Amino acid sequence: MKLLHTSDWHLGARLGRVERAPDHRAALRGLLRIADEEQPDLILHTGDLFDAYRPPYGALELGIVALGRLSRIAPTVVLCGNHDSPRLLGVLDHLAGAQSPKRLWFLTRPAVWSQPGHPAVVACVPFLRPGAIANYATDDPSQFEGNYADGIRLLNHRQLDLAREAAGSRGIVLYAAHLHVHGARPGRSEKRMTVGDDYATHLDGLQRALYCAFGHIHDPQLLPGGITRGRYAGSLIPLDFGESRQTKQAVVVEVAEEVRVEPRELPGGRPLVDFDGTLDELEARAADGGLDESILRARVVSDEPVPDLMDRLAEWSPRCHVFHVANAVRKQAVKAVATHPSDGSEPPIEELFEEWRTTRGARMAAPAEAVRSLFSEALGAAAGDAPDFGTARLAAEADRVLASLAAARRHR
């Protein structure tokens, strides 16, 4: 039997204002190529299909289309992750049930997946919050005493007992979960709320499964301890700069005389570039499109403010996708402290604007002269000194018509 294990797609994720859909599509094309080449008997997605409870329509469509293509290759089981909405996945499962025979399942509660004639049985544990664990750890929730890890351990034993019974003589028992295992290596991107000690579980008893497919940790890796056979498949793409150096993977598992586990590399989409240096160094990096089709986070160090920094970057690499650019100025202007009483007069507004533009507004993307000219023109318009572009004539005509209407009403 052959299994394809993927996880943590996080469809709908953004990086600031940068849409990640192009990167997701690139990675999914790579995943589909692997599925076409390997022709697995089962595909497991171990949670966080979407990045939010209410994913954008485009992300929803991308997920349905990709899973539909995978399910045509092999039965596909998707677990609910902590980012997924159980209600939404429940609706998708009902819709998938309209297909006969059913090829796609969305599991929002612990369950044992099996199908007549299929060689594998899977003990499935979607993401569970601490308040819900007592309902699944024992037959009588009121009698449960223990922490989150204790509850998951009891649940795992129950699920594997049921899976072993369902497998019978076939003997291929797999385990799938969206959980944090104590000792796993979280990336810098993951929220500590659900990968901290309160959510840490253990691998006790999971050696009974031939392979344990895990989701939730974004950095692809073996399960800790070296005793339980299994992996975190990791996230589909580098979701932020904390994952920029991770190689993303899917996992192919072949069960025969022995179990062979082979990670397969996925395309990560546009590279995430983290730059910290001078303006000259940025120009050398970005000139002639050097940063085109990348997502950039940059800190540019200079002696004086660079008010047209974004314009220069756009000229050097017009197809660079900017997440964040900051100008760190070594010689920030410092105002002298007045030693004599002020006369209370405000400096001219043009002077205040120029000061803001060259200090606080250093990241604004427009030429300084053009901005100064537009600002002066706007001030003139506000004061009534700017040309009216024909509006005065229209206003006079409107006043004349209104006066005529008012006179007609008085003579009625």
Q: What percent of the chain has pLDDT over 90?
A: 69
Amino acid identity of residue 398, one-letter, is: A
113: enclosing H helix or E strand? strand 111-113
Cα–Cα dist 288/239, whole Å: 27
Going by their DSSP bridges, the two strands 111-113 and 120-125 should be labelled as antiparallel
* Whole-number pLDDT of residue 258: 93
Under 8 Å between Cβ of 309 and 362: yes
Cα–Cα dist 87/77, whole Å: 17
Q: What is the DSSP letter of 12?
A: T
E strand segments, 256-309: 259-265, 272-278, 295-302
Q: Which of 34-43, 163-172, 278-287 has the lowest mean pLDDT?
A: 163-172
Kindly tell me the sign of the dihedral angle through the C-alpha atoms of 357, 305, 309, 277. negative
Order across the sheet with 104-107: list the strands: 104-107, 76-79, 42-45, 2-6, 249-255, 259-265
Q: Which of 142-146, 176-180, 316-320 has the lowest mean pLDDT?
A: 142-146
Under 8 Å between Cβ of 110 and 136: yes
For 380-389, what is each residue's pLDDT tens digit?
A: 665 555 555 5
Query: What 3-state DSSP class applies to 155?
Result: helix
Under 8 Å between Cβ of 82 and 216: yes
> What CA–CA distances, in Å, run from 64 to 161, 246, 250, 343?
32, 26, 19, 69
Q: How many helices (H) and strands (E) does the chain have?
A: 11, 19
Which pTM value belongs to this model?
A: 0.79
Going by their DSSP bridges, the two strands 200-201 and 180-181 should be labelled as parallel
* Whole-number pLDDT of residue 210: 96
Residue 15 phi/psi, 5° resolution? -120, 95
Under 8 Å between Cβ of 144 and 138: yes
User: Which residue has better confidence, 40 or 171?
Assistant: 40
Q: Which of 36-45, 250-259, 325-334 has the lowest mean pLDDT?
A: 325-334
Where residue 363 falls among pLDDT bands split at 50, 70, 90? very low
E strand segments, 179-309: 180-181, 200-201, 211-215, 221-222, 230-232, 249-255, 259-265, 272-278, 295-302
Where residue 234 falls among pLDDT bands split at 50, 70, 90? very high
Under 8 Å between Cβ of 198 and 218: no
Cα–Cα dist 58/60, whole Å: 5
Cα–Cα dist 263/257, whole Å: 19
> How many residues can be counted in the chain?
412
Tell me if the bond preceding 101 is cis, omega within 30° of 0: yes
Query: What 3-state DSSP class applies to 146?
Result: coil
* Whole-number pLDDT of residue 193: 47
Where residue 408 falls among pLDDT bands split at 50, 70, 90? confident
44: enclosing H helix or E strand? strand 42-45
CA-based R_g, the chain, Å: 30
Q: Pick the most confident of 138-142, 297-301, 388-392.
A: 297-301
User: Which residue has better confidence, 275 or 346?
Assistant: 275
Domains of the chain: 2-265 (3.60.21.10), 272-366 (no CATH)
Under 8 Å between Cβ of 282 and 313: yes
E strand segments, 116-185: 120-125, 172-178, 180-181
Q: What are the tokens at 165?
A: 């019974």
Taking residue 310's Cβ as centre, other Cβ atoms within 10 Å add up to 17
Closest CA to 239 of 48, 381, 32: 48
What is the average pLDDT score of the chain? 88
